Amino acid sequence: MALVTTQNENVFKTKFTNTGGFIVTLLGLSLLALAERVLYDTGRLIALPPLDYFDNLGVIIVHAVVIIFFLVIALVLNLSLSHRQERYAVALVPYFVVSIILAMQLLLQVSVYFINHHTTIQFYIVMLALIAVCTYGIYLTQSRHKVVGE
């Protein structure tokens, strides 16, 4: 049984069968549920109480370590396997999507924390630094990606 109907060079443009789409979606949702539970447990076990995702800097730092670790693994796997156009590289899409969702969650946590605990100028400085780091990361990732037709 095939999971994909059309395999493209770009994994995100791959067309799934109904079964393949269901399995990839189920994998993504399972990964997201597992990642959220890991965040909850690590925050509860490592950071000092109270367990507050937006107001406790210790919890935010623990979450940042876990999320950045997951994001780096997803990026390395995608960069190393996507250019090979392997048939099973499509299984990496849920990992990459979940890592992006977790990174956005971390960005929201940091933003809310800085809005509540710092001055406006400090908030702007941190957000501009975050934007610069994210932009450079996107640039670096795209510069290593081979464009079709080059």
87-122 pLDDT, tens digit each: 666 778 898 889 999 999 998 998 899 889 989 898
Q: Quick one: average pLDDT of 66-91?
A: 77
What is the radius of gyration, based on Cα positions, of the chain?
18
pLDDT band at 81 (very low <50, low <70, confident <90, very high): confident
Residue 140: per-residue pLDDT: 83
> Residue 15 — φ and ψ, nearest 5°?
-95, 125
Which stretches does DSSP call E strand in 14-115? 15-16
Dihedral-angle region of residue 149 (phi above 0 means left; psi in -120 to 50 means alpha; beta otherwise): left
Q: Pseudo-torsion of CA 82, 4, 33, 133, nearest 10°? A: 30
Q: Give this prediction's pTM.
A: 0.79
State the helix-helix crossing angle for 57-81 and 18-46, rounded to 10 degrees.
Answer: 150
Distance, CA of 47 to CA of 49 (rounded, Å): 6
Q: Angle at Cα 37 formed by Cα 66 and Cα 41, nearest 5°?
A: 70
